[in-house]
Amino acid sequence: MNRAIVLLTLFLVFPGTPAGAAQVRVLALFPGKALLEVDGQRKVLREGQSLGPARLIAADPQRARVAVDGRVEILRVGSAVASRFAPPQQEEIRILREGDAFHLDGLINGQPVRLLVDTGATTVAMSEREARRLGIPYVAEGQGALSRTASGVARGYAVRLRSLKIGNRTFSNVRAIVVQGDYPEEVLLGMNVLAAYEMEHRGNLMILRSRR
């Protein structure tokens, strides 16, 4: 039975660390190896190995050839170069609950859908009616499957969604189940997608933070 739910979903992007150029510094040199420091992280690299945006091309006791952001730098012990490398950003999705459910808007194969966050669902799941609306060829391309629902075991089709987008993130080749009949009434966002996020509950607020 459909419920009237008014929800506010906020999509926020926060930098994972303070923005700015990474510093690549040579701390020690050896034949075929170099001790590099990239934004405080130190590692002995062999020729061909990388640390962050820096890749060691060649090294001897006098100098190192280091590729940084596609350009090659000649560095001696103690010298440094700035990288244009930007740390990865972490997306945060905030969903306010009314009633007993959390919903958010998304896109499946480029078409808008309303998604019900369901941590009890292993995969994305939808009804045949919704699959037809989205133009998913579940009979021609899907494989027979059984799906466990709240009312028991239901027959369905295992399919792959070309794309599923929530917030600023797009997932490709997503596993999904099309359940025979008109239920579930809403597309269930299952753990095969939710596992890409850290989930936090604060009363009526659910926060999804993308894992890096």
- Give the Å distances, CA to CA, from 117 to 104, 137, 153, 165: 8, 24, 20, 14
Q: What is the pLDDT of residue 5?
A: 32
Residue ranges of domains in the chain = 23-82, 90-210
pLDDT of res. 54:
86
How far CA 141 is from CA of 167, 179, 190, 197, in Å, comes to 28, 14, 21, 29
Q: What is the pLDDT of residue 87?
A: 52
Domains 23-82 and 90-210 share a fold: no
Which CATH number, 3.10.50.30, 2.40.70.10, 3.40.50.720, 1.10.3720.10, labels domain 90-210? 2.40.70.10
Q: Please give the pLDDT value at position 161.
A: 95
The pTM of the whole model exceeds 0.85: no
Q: Which CATH class is domain 23-82?
A: mainly beta
Mean pLDDT by runs of 10 across the 212 residues of the chain is: 36 38 86 90 91 89 87 87 63 89 94 94 95 96 82 86 92 94 93 94 93 74
